[in-house]
Structure 1
Amino acid sequence: MNRLPMFRCVLMCQLLASLMLGWNCHAEDTDQLPLILAHRGGAHEYEENTMEGFQACYERGIRGFETDIRMTKDGVLVLLHDDSLDRTHDASGPVEEMLASELNSVRTKKGQSFLLLEDFLQYFQDKPGVYLELEMKTKNKALYPDARVSEYCQKLHALAKQYKPAGSDYLFTSFDERPLVTMRQLDADWPTAIIASQPLSDEFIERAKRLQATHIACRITGTSRDMVKKAQELGYKINGWPGHRVEDYYLAIGLGLDVACTDIPTVIQKTKESLPTETNP
């Protein structure tokens, strides 16, 4: 063992821990491992929600992406996580109070262009086999009263339907129940996910049932393997977050998650590729 690089030793220890949690599969069948989901396009590796991040991750083999959708004053859908531009861009205030044309001169802290949803979707239009989570950032009711949520959902559904290539999975996700209800009314078959800052539980599953969601996004801390299996047996796909370290991906493996949301997707991709081809003795 002392001839192996230290990092390799850590990987093997994590694999053994996963097996003790009940994971029993061959690592060469990588489809059995959780899908790597680039949170905001890899927020700890690139500027978040930028074309640079999404493109770099795709070119490195990542096929799962999460982003955040907001709507300008004049009804244009854009990519931004926060309630204001202050943290990530050279402007301030809510994007909801700006016209889309005003964003032409707005740049990220490192000088990248502000990204519109349509440009983002056009990039993936000729890339089948991609999994996108489109998070609907409508929880602030001052910025998104009910009538505005309806307009938002209609526009988001139309754009996603227009640009989604065959063979890809696009999800509408949210902490806010209102857009999930609206999306289900607009489209009975489109997959949706309810997100909450809590571990998976019976109450969480019942909430997903009530909303007719197909996926559940829960915190990995405090989530048990038994609860994940229960939800999966009921037909749900489970996404665990947050993911800031390699150890978080190994926990996702041990829990048997379907999707592992991470801010370091290319690091996790390299870790996944380094797994031994046989995990059984």
Structure 2
Amino acid sequence: MKAIRLIALAACMAATLDASAQEQEIRLFSHRGGRMEHDENTLSAFQASYDAGYRGFETDIRMTRDGALVITHDSSLERTTNGTGTVEEKTEAEIRQLATKQGNKMMFLDELLEFLKGKEGLYVEFEMKTKPEVLYPEERLHAYCDKLYDAVMAVKPADATFVFTSGDYRGLRYLQAKHPGVDLLLITSKPCNDETIDLCKAMGIKRMGATMDGTSRKAVKKAHKEGLIVSLWPGQSVEDFMLGAYLGCDYMCTDVPIEVKGWLAEKAPWIKVKY
């Protein structure tokens, strides 16, 4: 059944491209290092995606009680590690004592940046995890944003695209005010539609990270006409990628980077993808 659905999606996209060539190359990037294939947000995960040819990545950053920046998605430590409680209530030393459930050490921002340093052709989304808001009141939020921005931009290669992303408007507005021209992406749990297009325009943010559910080709085309760059999520399967490609997105994350790259090489090499 899955194979049939994939063939149908490929045929649908092929028919579309027969009528008009693919309008843009899709940038596919490894979400948390490929969280459904590897131990998410660990050095081994990012290395595996890099070795497979990916130069696009997404990661998440939280801050410990004493101000260290940790690469992890959840505030709670319980889903991915052998710890309890939250990242925000722990010290750096306490976090360094923990391991993921697959036996890897938790990674800190400086370690990820060391991995990225000197690599060519990078596209990296640094998601600012600053919710719930009670854990990041204004003063702490500003300290977080300053530390993250300064550390990331200090090692940014000349040809790299480093994007700061969030669904928390506070951090986006703070960086925007302090660093005019900073590359930002607004994450929304809504589709690309008139509402989210207008929101991005009102905030002066050119990148949108929207859900595929409810997004139409027409809406993506409208976003493009308004000068916006559209990234779609989730990316949990080859089918998700094919749907995103059909919808005409510019960027898309994937939790299964190696599977998608292999499938495209074998089954749909005509789709223009940059990894």
Which residue does 1:16 correspond to in 2?
A: 11
The one-letter amino acid of 2:112's match is F
1:174-223: per-residue Cα shift (whole Å, max 9, x none)?
Answer: 01000000110121112101111111111111111222212100001110
User: Whole-Å Cα distance in 1 between the matches of residues 233 and 49 of structure 2?
Assistant: 18
SS at match of 2:107: coil
The one-letter amino acid of 1:133's match is E
**Aligned pair in 2 of structure 1 residues 226, 107: CA closer, same or farther (>3 Å)?**
same
Task: Provide the alpha-carbon RMSD of the alignment.
Answer: 2.1
**Aligned pair in 2 of structure 1 residues 9, 122: CA closer, same or farther (>3 Å)?**
same
User: Whole-Å Cα distance in 1 between the matches of residues 269 and 66 of structure 2?
Assistant: 53
Number of equivalent positions? 271
User: Whole-Å Cα distance in 1 between the matches of residues 179 and 35 of structure 2?
Assistant: 31
The answer on 1:134 being equivalent to 2:129 is no
Contact 2:10 2:268 in 1 (8 A): no
Task: Point out 4+ residue stretches in structure 1 off by more than 4 angstroms.
Answer: 6-12, 20-27, 275-279
The answer on 1:39 being equivalent to 2:39 is no
**Residue 13 of structure 1: how far off its partner (Å):** 3.4
User: Whole-Å Cα distance in 1 between the matches of residues 62 and 269 of structure 2?
Assistant: 43
Contact 1:68 1:135 in 2 (8 A): yes
User: Whole-Å Cα distance in 2 between the matches of residues 197 and 38 of structure 1?
Assistant: 19
The answer on 1:151 being equivalent to 2:146 is no
**Aligned pair in 2 of structure 1 residues 277, 88: CA closer, same or farther (>3 Å)?**
closer
5+ residue gaps, structure 2: none
1:56-101: per-residue Cα shift (whole Å, max 9, x none)?
Answer: 0011011211111101111111111112111100111111111112
- What TM-score do the two structures reach when normalised by structure 1? 0.90
SS at match of 2:49: helix
5+ residue gaps, structure 1: 1-5
The answer on 1:83 being equivalent to 2:78 is no
SS at match of 1:37: strand
**Residue 158 of structure 1: how far off its partner (Å):** 0.1
- What TM-score do the two structures reach when normalised by structure 2? 0.92
User: Whole-Å Cα distance in 2 between the matches of residues 25 and 248 of structure 1?
Assistant: 22
**Aligned pair in 2 of structure 1 residues 156, 236: CA closer, same or farther (>3 Å)?**
same
SS at match of 1:197: strand
**Aligned pair in 2 of structure 1 residues 21, 145: CA closer, same or farther (>3 Å)?**
farther
The answer on 1:189 being equivalent to 2:181 is yes
User: Whole-Å Cα distance in 2 between the matches of residues 272 and 25 of structure 1?
Assistant: 20
The one-letter amino acid of 1:15's match is A
1:133-160: per-residue Cα shift (whole Å, max 9, x none)?
Answer: 1111112111111111111111111011
Contact 2:6 2:239 in 1 (8 A): no
Which residue does 1:255 correspond to in 2?
A: 247
Which residue does 1:54 correspond to in 2?
A: 46
Contact 1:34 1:253 in 2 (8 A): yes
Contact 1:11 1:275 in 2 (8 A): no
Among 226, 229, 235, the residue aligned to 2:227: 235
User: Whole-Å Cα distance in 2 between the matches of residues 85 and 23 of structure 1?
Assistant: 49
SS at match of 1:110: coil
